[in-house]
Amino acid sequence: MSKQTITSREDMLMPTYNRFPLTLVKGKGSYVWDEQGAKYLDYTSGIATCNLGHTPDVVKNQVEKQLQDLWHCSNLYHIPSQEKLAEILVKNSFGDKVFFCNSGAEANEASIKLARRYAQAVKKTNAHEVVTFSNSFHGRTLATLAATGQEKIQQGFAPLAPGFRYLPYNDDKALDGLVSSETCAVLLELVQGEGGVVPADFDWVKKLAAICKENDILLMIDEIQTGIGRTGTLFAYQQYEIEPDVISIAKGLGSGIPIGAVIANEKAAEAFTPGTHGSTFGGNPLSAAAGLATVSHIVESGILEKSINLSSYLVEKLQQLKGQSDVIEEVRGKGMLQGIAVKGNAIDYVTKAREHRLLILVAGPQVIRILPPLTTNKEEVDAFYSVMQKVFCVK
């Protein structure tokens, strides 16, 4: 496209997104408004990012205060809000140390680097291989798309970064071949989001964790989408009776202000020393203030207990919907991360929902993804259910 053929500002953007025909200009709680003033119930939460709803006051107030003081100073200096955020994450997880970055892909990149350096600099081996699983999604950088177990994500980016091996997800027998002399870590989603909202089997995860511990390879849990309360606990691993070595988080961490993090135990964190990794913007005063306000509120307010009750009610309504429609094959997920497997194209149902001013997403070609904010209420779930009845043509 030449400059002469550009007819709108949209044409100046690289076409990396299939954007919905909707421009959002305002958000509050579970709702967003378009430029014509139409109100939508948003059960996407910015793809599991606005866990406290849109522009939550508890976060906005802290961000506005920080805006008056200091936006950025780099990690060459001490950042009090970053240190406080690290403290609350450590106190409420298995971890001992935290590294801050800007996004989920960067958090997974850092995890991969940490795993390789742990194997080579700490254990003094040549191990470098990271095992991931079919239909996983770990990001779109060169390393994280290589870690992703989906060919469609990798097409056109050859040669892929070496050092990744894929096993079938939730396959007990496949774990017999988990470890080789080159294996340094396993990277795992406990609910595959982009892969179709598929929860990991409890016993399978327990067996996998035991193999990792026995062979001293790092168990790394990708909590980019499941973390910060999305599944009913602060982190999804807490529902599996395991203790990972590393978790990666982002999305809900800053309530929409970009921030990511890696939480590691003392053993794994030993691999990172000054100069081995870094980030210019990671955990800067502004993003750390948002993260600190977000996590503090989730931990201290009792919102997780309320969201567990609401997610049970949401699942109850989804199961009712399934019983009323012969095109719904399965309802699955954890907490406020739910999927509806359907016959036909999931995007058609997403489009119809949007026409009724309800925003939902897909998770693959035949799965609808439901991501309410943790702050939603029973009345909003009922409104969601009412629209979904129209979407599936049931009464």
**Structural contact between residues 81 and 236, judged by C-beta atoms closer than 8 angstroms:** no
Mean pLDDT (the chain) is 96
Beta bridge partners of 337: 334
Q: Report the pLDDT value the prediction gives residue 6, as an integer from 0 to 100.
A: 63
**Structural contact between residues 358 and 43, judged by C-beta atoms closer than 8 angstroms:** yes
Secondary structure class of 38 (helix, strand, coil)? coil
Question: β-strand 129-133 against 367-370: which pairing, if any?
Answer: unpaired
The two three-digit tokens of residue 121, written as one number: 């600099």
Question: β-strand 183-188 against 218-222: which pairing, if any?
Answer: parallel
Does residue 207 register a pLDDT over 70?
A: yes
Q: For residue 164, is it left (φ>0), alpha (ψ between -120 and 50) or beta?
A: beta
The two three-digit tokens of residue 18, written as one number: 């299939």
Could you list the beta-strand ranges (E) of 274-325. Answer: none
Q: For residue 363, what is the DSSP state? A: S
Over residues 242-262, the mean pLDDT reads: 98
pLDDT above 70 covers a percentage of the chain that reads 98
Q: What pLDDT, in 10s, does the model give residues 137-185?
A: 999 999 999 999 999 999 999 999 999 999 999 999 999 999 999 999 9
Q: Cα–Cα distance between 334 and 173 in angstroms, integer?
A: 25
Secondary structure class of 97 (helix, strand, coil)? strand
SS (H, E, C) 11-28: HHCCCCCCCCCCCEEEEE
Does residue 1 register a pLDDT over 60?
A: no
Spans of all domains in the chain: 24-55+304-392, 57-301
- The number of angstroms, rounded, from the C-alpha of 158 to the middle of its chain's C-alpha atoms is 26
Confidence of residue 380 (pLDDT cuts 50, 70, 90): very high
Element (H, E) at 151: helix 151-154
Q: What pLDDT, in 10s, does the model give residues 70-92?
A: 999 999 999 999 999 999 999 99
Q: What pLDDT, in 10s, does the model give residues 16-63?
A: 999 999 999 999 999 999 999 999 999 999 999 999 999 999 999 999
Q: Report the pLDDT value the prediction gives residue 30, as an integer from 0 to 100.
A: 98
Binding residues, by number, are 104-105, 137, 140, 222-225, 279-280
Instruction: Give ∠ CA 336-101-68 in degrees, rounded to 5.
Output: 90
**Structural contact between residues 360 and 46, judged by C-beta atoms closer than 8 angstroms:** no
Q: For residue 195, is it left (φ>0), alpha (ψ between -120 and 50) or beta?
A: alpha
Confidence of residue 3 (pLDDT cuts 50, 70, 90): low
Confidence of residue 9 (pLDDT cuts 50, 70, 90): confident
Does residue 10 register a pLDDT over 90?
A: no
Does residue 198 register a pLDDT over 90?
A: yes
Over residues 263-289, the mean pLDDT reads: 97
The two three-digit tokens of residue 243, written as one number: 């203790």
Q: What pLDDT, in 10s, does the model give residues 106-149?
A: 999 999 999 999 999 999 999 999 999 999 999 999 999 999 99
Smallest Cα–Cα separation from 129: which of 140, 120, 142, 138? 120
Does residue 199 register a pLDDT over 90?
A: yes
Q: Report the pLDDT value the prediction gives residue 353, as an integer from 0 to 100.
A: 98
Task: Quickly name the fold that domain 24-55+304-392 has.
Answer: Aspartate Aminotransferase, domain 1 (3.90.1150)
Binding residues for N(2)-acetyl-L-ornithine, by number, are 140, 279
**Structural contact between residues 56 and 64, judged by C-beta atoms closer than 8 angstroms:** no
Angle of the 57-69 helix axis to the 285-300 helix axis, nearest 10 = 150
Does residue 246 register a pLDDT over 80?
A: yes
Q: Cα–Cα distance between 53 and 141 in angstroms, integer?
A: 28
On the question of a common fold for 24-55+304-392 and 57-301, the answer reads no
Write down the architecture of domain 57-301 according to CATH: 3-Layer(aba) Sandwich (3.40)
**Structural contact between residues 108 and 267, judged by C-beta atoms closer than 8 angstroms:** no
Binding residues for pyridoxal 5'-phosphate, by number, are 104-105, 137, 222-225, 280
Q: Report the pLDDT value the prediction gives residue 331, as an integer from 0 to 100.
A: 98
Over residues 258-271, the mean pLDDT reads: 98
Question: β-strand 183-188 against 129-133: which pairing, if any?
Answer: parallel
Burial 176-188 (b: 16+ CB within 10 A, else e): eebbeeebbbbbb
Dihedrals phi, psi of 328, to nearest 5 degrees: -90, 120
**Structural contact between residues 130 and 245, judged by C-beta atoms closer than 8 angstroms:** no
Q: Which residues contact 266 (CB under 8 A, 6 or more apart)?
A: 96, 97
Q: Report the pLDDT value the prediction gives residue 2, as an integer from 0 to 100.
A: 59
